Amino acid sequence: MRKIVILDAYVACSGGLSWKELEEYGEVIIYDRTAPEDVYDRCKGAFAVFTNKVVLTAEIIGKLPDLKYIGVLATGYNNVDIQAANSRGITVCNVPAYSTESVVQTVFAHLLNIYVNAEAHSQSVKAGDWSACKDFSYLLAPTEELYAKRIGIYGLGNIGKRVAEIAHAFGMTVTALTSKSQSKLPEYITKVSKEDFFSKSDIISLNAPLTADNKNFICEETLSLMKPETVLINTARGGLIDETALDKALRERKIFAAGLDVLCKEPPEATNPLLTNPYCRITPHIAWQSTTARKRLIHISAQNLKYFIEGNPQNVVK
């Protein structure tokens, strides 16, 4: 029977979700979490290995002669040495676009949280502040409208395009920093220069994958171009932002606020200054984690293995 190993199953299947669909294809061994020093021993003899964030290095891959398939339980696959896998004839498959709607709604959850402060007002009411108020209404801080705001989107893949679509529905002016030509974009998206992108956007949404070329895309230089009213949203990858520079810009009020679902190191060090920054809202990498999205992830992952076994692999990474 084929040995199928899941190295870090907990986050994807928490809340009662199941990997039962994989059991049709072999003996499934599930680990909630796997430390780096345990990866090789747990993968030994496996026909297929599934990983979300556990790193599969060239060294480990080279010591696994029985391994024929690596399933990445995510869209991003920078945790797997693809070249090493390909050189050994190991097929690597990921799960693209499974969480688009979930990530996009988190973009706007952060944005609305910053502009409306709904939860802070709710907690204030529960604390008795409204009952003690002399007026019929009060504000903890000024609120704002999304309507007519200018949003700049970096990364026009599935997620970025959907962010643009919803921003347009809110009545926002949508611009993008993109390599795509204007003729290839919907009429409501305007391609802009890098300088205009940073200097004229009221909101900047990061929706691009992390590459060697865009690490620290948000840095002291680009932050200095932004308006004091700018709101920065990142639901993509933490490495797109120089966190020290962002912390400084926020505390010095060079930009208005940031909403982050990702950080450079996850989980973060307790000393990360953004954790105590009053102008930064942070969620713990939850944008992809809706129950619907995770069910989709598990199903597509099982289907990817099925198609590979049948000789017709899908979503192959090369």
- Look at the pTM and tell me if it is higher than 0.75: yes
Average pLDDT, the chain: 97
Percent of the chain with pLDDT over 70: 100
27 is catalytic: no
Give per-residue pLDDT as tens, 196-213.
Answer: 999 999 999 999 999 989
Cβ count near 33 (within 10 Å): 12
Query: What pLDDT is recorded for position 93?
Result: 98
Q: Is 269 a catalytic residue?
A: no
- Residue 76: pLDDT over 90: no
Over the stretch 115-173, which tens digit does the pLDDT of each residue have? 999 999 999 999 999 999 999 999 999 999 999 999 999 999 999 999 999 999 999 99
Q: Which of 59, 221, 266, 269 is catalytic?
A: 266
Number of H helices, E strands in the chain: 11, 12
Which helix (H) or strand (E) element contains residue 43? helix 39-43
Q: 15 pLDDT exceeds 90?
A: no
Q: φ and ψ at 310, to 5 degrees?
A: -80, -5
Calpha distance 232→226 (Å, rounded)? 10
**Using an 8 Å Cβ cutoff, are 71 and 301 in contact?**
yes
Q: Which residue has the tokens 């000024």?
A: 142
Rounded mean pLDDT, 74-80? 92
Q: Is 220 exposed, middle or buried, given 0-12, 13-18 or 19+ CB atoms closer than 10 A?
A: middle
The whole-number pLDDT of residue 16 equals: 87
Model confidence band, residue 106 (pLDDT cutoffs 50, 70, 90): very high
Binned at pLDDT 50, 70 and 90, residue 36 comes out as very high
Q: What is the Cα–Cα distance from 235 to 283, expressed in whole angstroms? A: 10
* Residue 164 and residue 140 in contact, taking contact as beta carbons nearer than 8 Å: no
- Spatial separation of the C-alpha atoms in residues 113 and 118, rounded to whole Å: 6
What percent of the chain shows pLDDT beyond 90? 97
Catalytic residue check, 285: yes
Tokens coding 92? 């690597």
Query: From the candidates 237, 281, 294, 296, which is the catalytic residue?
Result: 237
> How many other C-beta atoms are found inside a 10 Å radius of the C-beta of residue 86?
15
pLDDT digits (tens, 9 = 90+) for 215-255: 999 999 999 999 999 999 999 999 999 999 999 999 999 99
114-275-154 Cα angle (round to 5): 55
Interval 87-103 mean pLDDT:
97
pLDDT of residue 139: 97
How distant, in Å, are the alpha carbons of 153, 162, 217 from that of 229? Answer: 16, 24, 19
Of the candidates 162, 285, 294, 296, the residue annotated as catalytic is 285
